């Protein structure tokens, strides 16, 4: 099971150039970040993880930035529970990194994981209210 999580540099760069006015509108901010990331995909996150796409969704007043990852592991070796074990580390990063904290404060962040053959593994949904 993978133990590292890094926010891709492309995402950090996308967030750092967002105008203050765009940060006020969660969906506009999400679309800017997603477009920037998608222009640089696929992104190698680590030796086993590829970020291959991102997209935004809105349900009611909640905007979610979704990242689609492919994991280079044998099918059946990664589970939802394994993904959940990464939650504290991922949440800490999103909540404390000055480049990502503004984003999670205005929208949810979801990682959607599949094996390299496209078979779905699971997801992690992070909410700004989880930040302390």
Q: Name which of 36, 92, 98 is nearest 67 in CA terms.
A: 36
Cβ(34)–Cβ(60) below 8 Å: no
Confidence grade of residue 2 (pLDDT, cut at 50, 70, 90): very low
Query: Each residue of 3-21: pLDDT tens digit?
Result: 444 455 545 545 554 544 4
> Can you tell me the distance from the alpha carbon of 98 to that of 66, in angstroms, rounded to the nearest whole number?
20
Beta bridge partners of 111: 67, 124
Distances (CA, A) of 33 to 11, 61, 122: 7, 18, 23
Mean pLDDT of the chain: 86
**Straight-line distance from the first to the last Cα atom of the chain, in angstroms, rounded to the nearest whole number:** 28
59-105: per-residue pLDDT in tens? 998 999 999 999 999 999 999 999 999 999 999 999 999 989 989 99
Hey, which residues does 62 pair with through a beta bridge?
59
CATH 3.40.50.1220 fits 9-130, yes or no: no
Quick one: what percent of the chain has pLDDT higher than 70? 82
Q: Which pLDDT belongs to residue 89?
A: 93
């Amino acid at each position: 099971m993978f133990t590292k999580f890094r926010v891709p540099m492309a995402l950090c760069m996308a967030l750092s150039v967002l105008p203050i006015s765009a940060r006020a509108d969660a969906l506009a901010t999400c679309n800017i970040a997603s477009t920037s990331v998608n222009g640089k995909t696929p992104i190698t996150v680590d030796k086993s993880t590829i970020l291959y796409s991102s997209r935004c969704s809105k349900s009611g007043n909640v905007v979610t930035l979704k990242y689609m990852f492919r994991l280079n592991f044998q099918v059946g070796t990664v589970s939802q529970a394994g993904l959940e074990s990464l939650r504290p580390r991922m949440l800490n990063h999103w909540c404390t990194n000055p480049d990502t904290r503004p984003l999670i404060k205005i929208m949810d962040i979801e990682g959607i994981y599949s094996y390299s053959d496209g078979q779905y593994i699971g997801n992690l949904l992070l909410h700004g209210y989880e930040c302390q």
